[in-house]
């Protein structure tokens, strides 16, 4: 008899970011599959833990589906939300490419989590309060030419943007290149935030800058970048607190 496979998101940091629905699922699971640091956050003594490198998503998905087909209750663990640049898509890619009958009886479900962009935006205020888009700057699974085109079109459409995977040791130049594309369209006063390790205690850092002054070298692999729309602004309160938000109202082209 086949078991089940559930893809879950455990948020950007500690247990306080895990939804009650995901916590209950993890308590019942027999096997946890995922990237080692994510599994370390949630593994219990009753779990069989199957850790793998973060670039082995399809192999990880196939292994999880095989175990579920054997009757196990398997949780595939993603950081943040599993449907945002994470394991949910990999599981469905594996299912689509499978031989007929291999995993037909496996029940598959996806449970949402708090994404990195939601966590960062909440710390700041509401910079994603109007239309926005999320773009991964990693070219591991898509060409840089496509990333460049998407960034340009989003800037031309005046979306606020959340950049995932902005920089790594293998590609230290891509965040700077993406911001250069935005500069060709947006003004130098456009707000830019480097949100690093949100929710991870003393490691958390929020750097609020502008398109004209931001330093891409200040980002690392734990950074989520938010580039504001033209209307994104800083709200200075009498208490001294500052919030970033993007107004819900957008003027029509005729009134501008």
Q: Is 117-255 the same fold as 4-114?
A: no
Contact call for residues 166 and 175 (beta carbons, < 8 A): yes
Residue 137 scores a pLDDT above 80: yes
Confidence of residue 254 (pLDDT cuts 50, 70, 90): low
| CATH topology classification for 4-114 | Cobalt-precorrin-4 Transmethylase; domain 1 (3.40.1010)
Q: What is the pLDDT of residues 5-19, one digit of tens each?
A: 999 999 999 899 999
Q: Mean pLDDT score of the chain, rounded to an integer?
A: 94
pLDDT of residue 253: 59
**More confidently predicted of 3 and 73:** 73
**148-168 pLDDT, tens per residue?**
999 999 999 999 999 999 998
Of all residues in the chain, the percent with pLDDT exceeding 70 is: 98
For the four alpha carbons of 231, 199, 224 and 188, in that order, the dihedral sign comes to positive
Residue among 256, 168, 150, 184 at smallest CA distance from 216: 168
Q: How much is the pTM?
A: 0.93
What does each C-alpha distance from 167 to 73, 176, 198 come to in angstroms?
35, 9, 16
The residue ranges of every structural domain in the chain are 4-114, 117-255
Asked if the 117-255 domain carries CATH number 3.30.950.10, the reply is yes
Give 36-67 pLDDT, tens digit per residue.
999 999 999 999 999 988 778 999 999 999 99
Take residue 77 and report the two structure tokens written for it: 């663990």
The average pLDDT across 131-145 equals 96
Q: What is the mean pLDDT of residues 131-136?
A: 98
**CA–CA gap between residue 122 and residue 12 (Å, rounded):** 12
Q: Which of 241, 245, 247, 248 is nearest to 126 (CA)?
A: 245
Strand ranges across the sheet with 191-196: 132-136, 160-164, 223-227, 191-196, 205-210
Give the residue among 199, 188, 253, 198 at the shortest CA–CA distance from 227.
188
Judged by DSSP in three states, 117 sits in helix
Residue 256 has pLDDT above 60, yes or no: no
Give the residue from 213, 171, 223, 168 showing the smallest Cα distance to 192. 213
């Amino acid at each position: 008899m086949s078991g089940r496979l559930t893809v879950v998101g455990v948020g950007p940091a500690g247990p306080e970011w895990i939804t009650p629905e995901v916590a209950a699922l993890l308590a019942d699971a027999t096997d946890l599959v995922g990237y080692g640091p994510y599994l370390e956050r949630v593994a219990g003594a009753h779990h069989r833990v199957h850790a793998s490198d973060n670039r082995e998503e399809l192999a990880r998905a196939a292994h999880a589906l095989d175990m579920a087909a054997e009757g196990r209750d398997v949780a595939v663990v993603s950081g943040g939300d599993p449907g945002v640049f994470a394991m949910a898509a990999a599981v469905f890619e594996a299912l689509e490419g499978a031989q007929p009958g291999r995993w037909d009886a496996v029940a598959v479900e996806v449970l949402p989590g708090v994404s990195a962009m939601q966590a960062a935006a909440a710390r700041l205020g509401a910079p994603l309060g109007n239309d926005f888009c999320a773009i991964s700057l990693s070219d591991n699974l898509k060409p840089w030419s496509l990333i460049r085109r998407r960034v340009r079109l989003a800037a031309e459409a005046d979306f606020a943007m959340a950049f995932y995977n902005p920089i790594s040791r293998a590609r230290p130049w891509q965040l700077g290149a993406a911001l250069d594309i935005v500069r060709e369209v947006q003004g130098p006063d456009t707000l830019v935030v480097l949100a690093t390790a949100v929710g991870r205690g003393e490691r958390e850092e929020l750097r609020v800058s502008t398109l004209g002054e931001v330093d891409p070298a200040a980002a690392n692999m734990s950074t989520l970048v938010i580039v504001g729309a033209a209307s994104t602004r800083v709200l200075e309160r009498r208490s001294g607190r500052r919030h970033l938000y993007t107004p819900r109202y957008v003027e029509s082209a005729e009134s501008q």
